[in-house]
Amino acid sequence: MDPTTLPIKDLRYPPELDWWPFAIGWWLIIIILFSVSSYLAYKLYLRWLENQSRRIALSKFEEIQSEYIKSGDSLVLVKQLSILLRRTFLAYFPREEVSSLVGIRWLNFLDQGLSENFFTEGVGKKLAIAPYQDQERPDHADMELLLKVVKIRIKTPIKKEGIS
């Protein structure tokens, strides 16, 4: 037989696999990934909303600090920081619980969750005393430390179940 005259047909390949529609396993993986990513995005959004008051308080803190640097009036600084802390924690806790705290109870509340007792035993005492003393101006070094302590307090959240 002559090989050039053989009746050979072309090879037939199976059809290519379509990428659409996906198999059921791929659909399940897509649904699970979408669900998990949606849940994580929702949780991140809730955390962002929860920290909105903290971000606003920190920007107000920066304004107060820059005003103090310009004016140097430590009495005004202490009054503004006291108001800022009160407003900040009124955003996180019910008004009935926070607005009634004064004196040592307020300072104890501010010390919750911190590594040291900055407010009851440290420079934070000035927040309870200095706003009511017009004659005596707090020291500049104390004010620098007070600014640091207040910033730490704003950045560190208090757990909502811990009001005393």
154 near 65, Cβ under 8 Å?
A: no
> For 126-155, what is each residue's pLDDT tens digit?
888 876 766 666 677 788 999 999 999 999
Give pTM, 2 decimals. 0.73
> For 98-123, what is each residue's pLDDT tens digit?
888 888 999 999 999 888 999 999 89
d(CA 155, CA 63): 16
Which amino acid makes up residue 116?
A: E
Long-range contacts of 127-130 (CB under 8 A, 24+ apart): 127/78, 127/81, 127/82, 127/85, 128/82, 128/102, 128/103, 128/104, 130/74, 130/75, 130/78, 130/79
d(CA 98, CA 94): 7
